[in-house]
Amino acid sequence: MLFSSYAAPASPDEVIALLGKRNNRIAAGNLWLRMSRRTGGTMIDLKNLGWDQIEETDDAYLIGASVTLHMLETHPGLNAMTGNLFADAFRAIVGVQFRNAATVGGSLYMRAGFSDLLTALLPLNAAVLLYPEKEIPLAEYARLAPAGELIRGVRIPKQEVRVAYRALRNTAGSVPVLTCAVAARGSALYAAIGARPMRAELIGGPGEAPESLAAELTRLTYGTNRAASEAYRRHVAGVLFARCAGEITGKETQA
């Protein structure tokens, strides 16, 4: 038995109260949770909170925690702003049925190293919205350990951006061996490199040149696991970065 009871609270305060008990968990997409070894406690379902919408304001897109990956990848406004970034980043995540279940909040809370979502969001200057009201820059949030916090959503600022995404998978549909997103905003250039296999990290800033960013990403920490070696990942990071940078600047850079 995974859980001994189920609750779908009508208010976030009730969710917070339930999270006060150690064994209770939020079930988001329930894709990883269902395979976990755990017993007892309450499965908390956020379905009655209305956090499954993408709201457009004057200066941002507010993505509810229960918005699915498929909603994000098919949103016309986000696709227009980012040149189909999320469609590019998610198309190899298992299948549409999986992405109709996997949620933005669930993925970000896990902070998985292989997260295509985390890698794609980082260079967009996104922020995580918590309940009670608190906003944390995503780059900062990604470094924190999961601590039972309640994610309400994500804010993606509206921006003029050119962004490209590449990931390498050993097998179609499996988790990536390396992920790379590169974004140019004004004179600033950013890159997020994930699945190293550590969580994605954001580098770059105003006035950054592709060549200096390419050098910087070789200095990130990479690791070895069953899927790939540290040296291979470091090499692939340079290749994927060069392809992304080439796509957004229209010229090749040295990897």
Partner 1 sequence: MNITFVLNGKTVHAETAPDENLLSVLRRCGVMSVKCSCDTANCGCCTVWVNGKPTLSCAYPAPRADGQEITTLEALTEEAESFAAYMADEGADQCGFCNPGFVMNVLAMKRELTDFTEENVRTYLAGNLCRCTGFASQHRAVAAWLKNTGREAAEV
Q: Which residues bind partner 1 (CB under 8 A)?
A: 1-6, 8, 27, 29-31, 34-35, 42-43, 45, 47, 70, 91-92, 94-98, 100-101, 172-173
Q: Which is nearer to partner 1, 96 or 255 (CB)?
A: 96
Least distance (Å) between residue 208 CB and partner 1: 33
Residues paired with 7 in a beta bridge:
44
Q: Which residue, 60 or 92, has its beta carbon nearer to partner 1?
A: 92
Are the C-beta atoms of 29 and 108 separated by less than 8 Å? no
Residue (100 or 229) nearer to partner 1, CB: 100
In angstroms, give the least distance from the CB of 77 to partner 1. 17
The CB-of-140 to partner 1 minimum distance in angstroms stands at 30
Residue matched to tokens 């590019």: 88
67: alpha, beta or left, given left = phi > 0 and alpha = psi -120 to 50? Answer: beta
User: How far is Cα 21 from Cα 12, in angstroms, rounded to an integer?
Assistant: 15
Interatomic CA distance for residues 14 and 109, integer angstroms: 19
DSSP 27: E
By C-beta, is 80 or 172 nearer to partner 1?
A: 172
Closest approach of Cβ 37 to partner 1, in Å? 13
Residues 6+ apart with CB under 8 A from 163: 82, 83, 85, 123, 124, 181, 182, 183, 184, 248
- 5 vs 212, beta carbon nearer partner 1: 5
Q: How far is the CB of 63 from partner 1 (least distance, A)?
A: 18
